[in-house]
Amino acid sequence: MSSPNEVDLDPQEQAILREWRLLVETHYIDDIKRLEGNPQIIHGFEIEHALIEEYSTLKVEFHENPTRTMKLGNRVMREQFEAAMARMRPILRVTRLAPNYLRRVNDLRMRDRNKVVSLDVRINEVSGSYGWVKMAVYECLDCHEFEYVEQRRARERKSPRHCDTCFGKWVGKMESEEEDALPFPPRPNFQMVTEHSIYEDVQDISMSQIVYNDQNKIIHLSEKEDIIGTVSDDLVGELEANQFARINGIVRVQPVPNRTFSRDTRRVLSIDVLSVEILDLKE
């Protein structure tokens, strides 16, 4: 049975993993060792952005390729929790981003997609929680091997194009010129295995831009729903309407809600939330 983690890492990914491990082992290993809990509990583990800035590769990669950098960081956190016998599942939360990441919602454009930003906002509405298939696991009905396919939220579910095991057997037969070799590669014959697939709990939040002064008094509050964000895992159920917060996250591009046809090319910006810092402000 194949594993989703059995992939070759390029030198840059190896450097990212190495610096994540060094950061965690230098600053947080004692905190991890003190953690105990039920393995079903998801633990949001906060790491300050200032520490990332101390590592040359992490500093650049977090800025230029945050999705990959966070994915590798979460992998390191899981390894460290397992090594310390901390049974909870960790989720990496980067907080207190540098001031240059602070943006205004109405300044965001499509060119900002996949970039990290901080937004000071009011939470207007919080949806009910729902789940989605983050990693779909498929079983080949011919050889019974598993294939893992990463999915994208709010997109059509992707299936494997072919079974690596069956395709490898076919190539071997063709190269050896066996008489019973099929003239064409075997067609995909998969079934999704729901109990092995990986799911994620999420909530959608609507937010409006705020501006406040040095006395923490709000001097401007946008009257429109400026942008939608998505919180996941340990952040689900933590936010309430009318809270003021600094949202740290990655800009994403999503289809227009309530689009009238499936191939509509219109898109809107949203935020995949990395961390939330509640602001104590006065209206």
- pLDDT one-digit tens code per residue, 225-235: 789 999 999 99
Q: For residue range 249-269, list pLDDT tens digits in order.
A: 999 998 887 777 767 888 899
**Could you list the residue range(s) of the whole structural domain that residue 30 is in?**
11-95
Which residue from 110, 59, 113, 67 is spatially nearest to 92, judged by alpha carbons? Answer: 67
Residue 280 CB neighbour total at 10 angstroms: 6
Domain contains 125: yes
Q: Which of 34, 106, 135, 78 is nearest to 70 (CA)?
A: 78
pLDDT of residue 7: 54
CATH of the domain at 181: 2.20.28
Question: Which position has the token pair 């450097």?
Answer: 15
Last residue of a domain, one of 45, 68, 95: 95
- Collect all residues with Cβ–Cβ distance below 8 Å to 97 and sequence separation of at least 6: 49, 116, 118, 248
Residues 255 and 212 grouped into a single domain: yes
Q: What is the pTM of this model?
A: 0.85
Q: Is residue 3 part of a domain?
A: no
> Is residue 2 one of the residues assigned to a domain?
no
Of 175, 190, 205, 220, the C-alpha closest to 276 is 205
- Owner of token pair 């650049």: 60
Whether residue 43 contacts residue 234, with contact meaning beta carbons closer than 8 Å, is answered with yes
120 and 212 fall within a common domain? yes
Is residue 232 domain-resident?
A: yes
CA–CA dist 11, 14 (Å, integer): 5
Does 167 share its domain with 72? Answer: no
Q: Are residues 143 and 184 in the same domain?
A: yes
Which three-class secondary structure state does DSSP give residue 210? strand
Which among 77, 86, 85 is positioned nearest to 45, based on CA atoms? 77
CA neighbor of 180 nearest in space, from 189, 190, 191, 170: 170
120/52 same-domain check: no
- Mean pLDDT (the chain) is 90
| pLDDT at 121 > cutoff 90 | yes
Name the CA dihedral angle for 94, 100, 106, 111, rounded to a multiple of 10 degrees: -80
Q: What is the pLDDT of residue 3?
A: 47
CATH number of the CATH domain containing 210: 2.40.50.140
Whether 223 is covered by a domain: the verdict is yes
Query: pLDDT tens for residues 184-215?
Result: 788 889 999 999 999 999 999 999 999 999 99
Strand ranges, E, within the chain: 42-48, 89-95, 102-103, 116-126, 130-140, 146-150, 190-192, 198-212, 218-221, 227-232, 244-255, 267-278
Shared-domain flag, residues 127 and 138: no
With a cut of 50, say whether residue 1 has pLDDT above it: no
Dist. CA 83–CA 170, nearest whole Å? 41
* 4 belongs to a structural domain: no
Place of tokens 């069956």: 166
What's the confidence (pLDDT) of residue 21? 97
Looking at residue 172, its pLDDT comes to 85
Q: Which of the 8 DSSP states describes residue 151?
A: -
pLDDT of residue 87 exceeding 90, the answer is no
Mean pLDDT of 135-156: 91
Number of domains composing the chain: 3
**What would the pLDDT profile of 172-189 be if each residue is shown by its tens digit?**
878 787 767 677 788 889
Listed range (83-97, 103-117, 248-262) with the worst mean pLDDT:
248-262
